[in-house]
Structure 1
Amino acid sequence: MDLISGARKKLTGVTTENEIQPRPSIVLTTVIDNPRFEQANIDTSGTVPTIDGTFAIDVTNTGLLPTRSTRITGAKVELIKDQSSLTVGTIEEPQSIGSISGGSTETINIKFERDGDFLRNVVQEVCQDGKVRAKINFTMSEILLAATYSNELEVPVNRSDCKTLTVNVSGQSEVNINEEYRWEISTVGEGSIGSVSWDMGDGSTYTGRAVTHSYNQTGDYTITVDTERGYSASKEIDVSLVPFGLVGPVELNVGNEATWNATGENLSQVSNITWNFGDGESRTTQSNSVSYAYDEEGNYTLTAVSDTGYDDNLEVQVSFPNVIVDRISSPDSVSNQQDFNASVQGSNLSEASTLRWDMGDGITLNGREVTHRYATSGEYEIIVEAIISGEVVSSASKSITAEQFVL
């Protein structure tokens, strides 16, 4: 299930009569209509998610004469997921609307702010379906008459800012009995997964983003991983007794050196091993291990052949780190002839070999934070690029105004 992780989301949406077809209630000439989210900010970056924003509803005078003494006597907005709901906003004290002239519409806003784990389910629904279910209860009075609007509806929202996160278990699927292997969590996308719990399928449990484990019986096992933020993943493991096999990573980043080891019950008969890395390079060692770094992204077959004729292979996936340059933090305007600071925000930025800045005036800088000064006033576009092995993997830009410095 796609989930939003880690960053602040702005979700806005406006309903139409055709989309929700509400049941208007009439108080004399007053119609309650068009309930909607004007703005909803859902933040899942902390331990407990929060939501704040504004729910709105229109009050229209369909008559010719102005309304008199119209009041909101009560309102409640609930977010709904499955059979559960969370009250996010209320109006408990009567509020006067004031006079609404004939044919005019006034918009009533209900501000809300809540926190709680329930909001994680709401975020999931928004990012999957582009809408969230809500219930609005609204009571109004005018002179001696009163009417209540009550409706449950699906409110569409803008999900363009949804950040999806996928969790996987990285490591070997076929392993040798009584040999230690390493598995770790890998993620694709943005967001926080929190703490991680492992169930190795043989009664052993661990915590942490990576584990080392050995199985003492042959058979098929399922590794299950659950995270604090509600993500989960699993991997099927085949444990057997092999005469000659390989132990090592099956996923790694471009340029990162990794080590693979030979294992097996017949290893004592082996004097040397020839390793073919699948990229045209090979190496022969008299030890049972080899270290190597791939220079290019791709899928490779690592093959090991012993001088006694034993052989085994591993499929190795080599990729660039999931480096994401999200935005540039800097003033929108500065004075020329004065220094200003700028920094880049994003995910896994430390994995980039270089963070290169183009300040828009012919000057380039490197680093996560830079200090610069424009010699002349004008409009400039700042560009920052994350570079790995000479390739730009992510970038962001921002316009900045340098104003004439005045003493």
Structure 2
Amino acid sequence: MSVSTFDITKIRNDFPILNQTINSQTLTYLDSGATTQKPQCVIDTTAQFYAAQNANVHRGRHTLSEQATYRYEQVRDKAAEFFGINSNEIVWTKGATEAINLVANGLKNQIKASDTIIITPIEHHANIVPWQVLSQQTGAKLAILPLNDDATFDIPACCEFIKQHKPKLLAISQASNALGNITNLAPLIASAKAVGALVLVDGAQGAMHLKANLSTLNCDFYVFSAHKMLGPTGLGGLYGRYEQLNALTPYQTGGEMIQTVTLTHSTYRDAPAKFESGTPNIAGVLGFGAALEYINALNHPALIEYEQTLFNYAANRLQQIDGITLFSDLKHNIGTLCFNYKDEHPYDLATLLDGYGVALRSGHHCTQPLMAHLGVNGTLRASLAFYNNHTDVDNFIDALQKCIALLD
């Protein structure tokens, strides 16, 4: 498979936001780790729903409602096919953060004071704080998976750590949002399963780039965000093994998720309806369906090869600048460069770069424990996606060199 089969010019034309200027400069968008841009088909699908199809889903018997319900549930089928699982194992949420909270809250009755929950230092705060709360509520112990000085995992040491601690649950990211580092999940999941642990994988960063088959991955829960997969904001999902989903206590209660209600007692429907109370983000779900169709229409092996080639080009150019410290693992990465320049504050450089139309992220990236591990208060983060091109990288490097010249 050759990158020549990946038509980047055609792809960029599908993303209208890329054809604009910022501060009189061509936009160079390098913040896809925060949110991906949306192709025109996603924008059109969302607008079309409100313009011509707007109706609530399920319960209604009129034409618009039945059509909306059919299309809404069709997207659940598309998501299940994308991840290699069953449709009844997908729960729609507001995003990956709510999905993790749903699981943490739902496990309260299953976690005891004698149990251990393992988390890691690379996690987004959304995959740390809910487990801290669950630990405080139940008395369970939090254990931290060991991390090398360079923020990579020593897999044999981590497997031994899991074996010794015998956790009730392992919560771990598929890829670091700050560094872009890809986690070698298979041996860690296997070690967790060997001691009877549940495994939750945060796929917010990895879902679009890595396209994991969750049946093969063998985790119990997997969370994702639509807006990091070309879809609308305010929508995400939770995959859970069906028996594990139904064993969770509902995160929220209300309409739609109930089977029967009297004034003194209620019973709940089975998953996924059990966790989808209230009116959902229907337009968001339909927009996400368009995003999944767009991703599926791409040649995925060629996409991966293109992203890796572009990432290598960007990393090589960045490393040629004296004073740059790179924190990312360059061998196993979804396309994110986490770096600093000398002792300059990342906010200052990010602000200067914006003057050249370069959009990237600065700060601790909701990973304060990881920043502490690296011995820094924050970094700059340039996160690439398949709609970026070599001109984006050149614009970024040229602008960075100009900014450095202003600071030195």
Same fold (TM over 0.5): no
Q: Normalised by the size of structure 1, how large is the TM-score?
A: 0.18
- TM-score, length-normalised on structure 2? 0.18
